[in-house]
Amino acid sequence: MKRILLFLATNMAVMALIGVVFQLLGIQGMLASNGVDLNLQAVMVMSLIVGFSGSVISLFMSKSMAKRSMGVRVIEQPANNAERWLLETVYRQAEKAGIGRPEVGIFDSPQPNAFATGANKNAALVAVSSGLLNAMTEDEVEAVLGHEVSHVANGDMVTMALIQGVVNTFVMFLSTVIGHLVDRVVFKTERGHGPAYYITSIIAQLVLSVLASIIVMWFSRQREFRADRGGAELAGRQKMIASLRRLQQAHATEDLPDQMAAFGISGGVAHGLKALFLTHPPLEQRIAALENMQ
């Protein structure tokens, strides 16, 4: 709750700062002189509500959506020694990390992967693929579980939802202002909204959303380094390194849906500008960071 309040307070403070900057730059006066009856404060509030509503709703639905979309079978009663070991390992790591026991599940996929999700760190979900269990040793699986438990303990799901809400707010606010400026100042629309407003707003949203995605993905990559360190602390650094090296041997590990990809153990591979949109750093960088960890 403190994290949510802090993000909201920060977002509101930055939006207030933008309002001051707009006043200093004379944008409000420019709008008024061109007959633009745009209330920036009202646009700010509307952008804040719309920007956060989608990300917050997705956060609270994340666990149920993950179960359905991935076909996760939650382990209620262990059916064999492997499932019993999974439960005991996650519970032990959760206790060490200071969080409540997550639900533990398995989903069918030939590719080695795992993810953690949930709006509450004390009621999260940690799931691993059947391919991961088949491809990795017990020590390597333990490290992967530690990585996912660390995501939960760090509150990464909440953090990413809030960051997405912040950038959504700015995208909507700026695109609305840009649309009004072009419509009234350039095309001299006197009443209501002309076609220029809608076209410009949509184009601005697309461009700003791309730029915002770069910011969100940067934060996503940083939290992966942090989760790797957490996995190393919970399971052992060499085990964590070994698990990442095992993932390097798998040529197709990004089989999670888009909405879950950021919470998997491994992302895709890209070069150049495409690398800016990766949810995960390259595995070689993650391994190097662990090797250099004090």
pLDDT digits (tens, 9 = 90+) for 129-160: 999 999 999 999 999 999 999 999 999 999 99
Give the model's confidence band at 293: pLDDT under 50 very low, under 70 low, under 90 confident, else very high: confident
Cβ proximity of 240 and 258 under 8 Å? no
Residues catalogued as catalytic: 148
> Model-level pTM?
0.84
d(CA 72, CA 64): 10
Mean pLDDT of the chain: 86
Question: How distant, in Å, are the alpha carbons of 22, 27, 47, 183, 200 from that of 177?
Answer: 11, 10, 11, 10, 10
Q: Is the pLDDT of residue 266 over 70?
A: no
Q: What pLDDT, on the 0 to 100 scale, is given for residue 281? A: 94
Q: What pLDDT does 8 receive?
A: 59
Q: Please give the average per-residue pLDDT across 47-68, as a whole number.
A: 89
DSSP per-residue string spanning 197-256: HHHHHHHHHHHHHHHHHHHHHHHHHHHHHHHHHHHHHHH-HHHHHHHHHHHHH-S----S
pLDDT-wise least confident of 40-54, 216-230, 245-259 = 245-259
